[in-house]
Amino acid sequence: MGRMLGAFDDDVELDRPDLNKCPDCNCFFAGDNCPICGKVCPEHMRAGNRAPVKPQKKKKRSSGSGRVTFVEWYHSWWFIVIMMFFFPIVGIVLLITSPHDRSKKILFVTIAAIYLVISTIGIGTIISGVVGLFDNPVDTSLSKEDYVAACEEMSAESFYRAADSSKDKFVCIKLRVVERVDYIDDYYNSSRDVYYLCEAPDGSSYKIIVRDCLIDSKINLIDGDVITVYGEADERIYVYETDGDYTEWFGPCVNMAYVLVG
């Protein structure tokens, strides 16, 4: 007599205390010999001599128990993805109300949110902003006296001509403020710093961009102010002028750590 098939779950140990059990075949029988392999049943496996079988703990069944769940077409993954691209709010609502697994919903919403942020803001702006958080445009480790002493005095013309080879150089330049600049390229101005368009005090055409990175108290510069800038040379940046015809130019920039007005 063998084990009955389908009568017990896989995690339930079957035992027939009234029958002998073959140690090799796990088969129960009433005679002395196993009907499958013919082996004589040892004494410790005979009825009445076997230790009782300890009941096993039932394992938790997974949610995927084989049952088929009908999903409406508008809750299908393909439709939700399409909505995320063209109508993100609709896509998110459909995803939340769908019968899909919660962990998959959270993962999908997270990926979709990251995609929307990147597509809206731009990867260049994000990278520039993150770098800006950890990269201070000016050296803050020096005292004001040491910083000013480290700056090399340059004229607006000499700085303009040497801008391409002066990056990170400590400079001292006397300039006149032309106007506050609000049309710096967003890629370079991800931190929304304040910029001023300046020129030589004598009114010559050497235009220089001053980025406000003042270490001590901030000050609003006014058009026409003559200033002495102590700072560090930076890369050239794009400036867009929209008065009249649309023009743009690539101007040298200095990061202003300290300033004297007048």
pLDDT in tens, 21-53: 888 888 888 888 888 888 888 888 888 888 777
- Strand-pairing partners, residue 154, are 173
Do residue 222 and residue 177 come from a single domain? yes
148-166 mean pLDDT: 91
| Torsion from C-alpha of 129, 131, 134, 140, nearest 10 degrees | -90
Check residue 127 and give its pLDDT.
57
In a domain, 220, yes or no: yes
Question: What is the band of 244 on the pLDDT scale with cuts at 50, 70, 90?
Answer: very low
Looking at residue 3, the DSSP 8-state letter turns out to be P
Do residue 220 and residue 254 come from a single domain? yes
Check residue 10 and give its pLDDT.
46
Question: What is the band of 124 on the pLDDT scale with cuts at 50, 70, 90?
Answer: low
Q: Tell me the C-alpha distance between 90 and 75, whole Å.
A: 11
Residue 116, φ and ψ in degrees, nearest 5: -65, -40
In a domain, 127, yes or no: no
Site of tokens 């109508």:
87
Question: What is the band of 3 on the pLDDT scale with cuts at 50, 70, 90?
Answer: very low
Do residue 156 and residue 256 come from a single domain? yes
Task: Please give the mean pLDDT across all residues of the chain.
Answer: 78
DSSP per-residue letters across 31-83: SSB-TTT-PBPPGGGSTTTSPPPPPPPPPPPPS-SSPPPP--GGGSHHHHHHH
Secondary structure (3-state) at 239: strand
Question: What is the band of 186 on the pLDDT scale with cuts at 50, 70, 90?
Answer: very low
In a domain, 34, yes or no: yes
Check residue 245 and give its pLDDT.
52
Residue 51, φ and ψ in degrees, nearest 5: -70, 145
Q: Tell me the C-alpha distance between 30 and 47, whole Å.
A: 9
Residue 156's domain comprises 144-261
Check residue 166 and give its pLDDT.
87
Do residue 244 and residue 207 come from a single domain? yes
Do residue 166 and residue 238 come from a single domain? yes
Question: What is the band of 120 on the pLDDT scale with cuts at 50, 70, 90?
Answer: low
In a domain, 65, yes or no: no
Write down which residue in 60, 89, 109 finishes a domain.
60
Do residue 21 and residue 87 come from a single domain? no
Secondary structure (3-state) at 128: helix
Q: 45, 20 in Cβ contact below 8 A?
A: yes
Domain count along the chain: 3
Do residue 83 and residue 54 come from a single domain? no
In a domain, 219, yes or no: yes
148-152 mean pLDDT: 95
- Which comes out higher in pLDDT, residue 25 or 185? 25
- Which comes out higher in pLDDT, residue 186 or 228? 228
Question: What is the band of 260 on the pLDDT scale with cuts at 50, 70, 90?
Answer: very high
Do residue 98 and residue 160 come from a single domain? no
User: pTM score, two decimals?
Assistant: 0.48
169-189 mean pLDDT: 77
Q: Tell me the C-alpha distance between 15 and 34, whole Å.
A: 16
Do residue 105 and residue 170 come from a single domain? no
In a domain, 135, yes or no: no
Check residue 6 and give its pLDDT.
37
Check residue 122 and give its pLDDT.
60
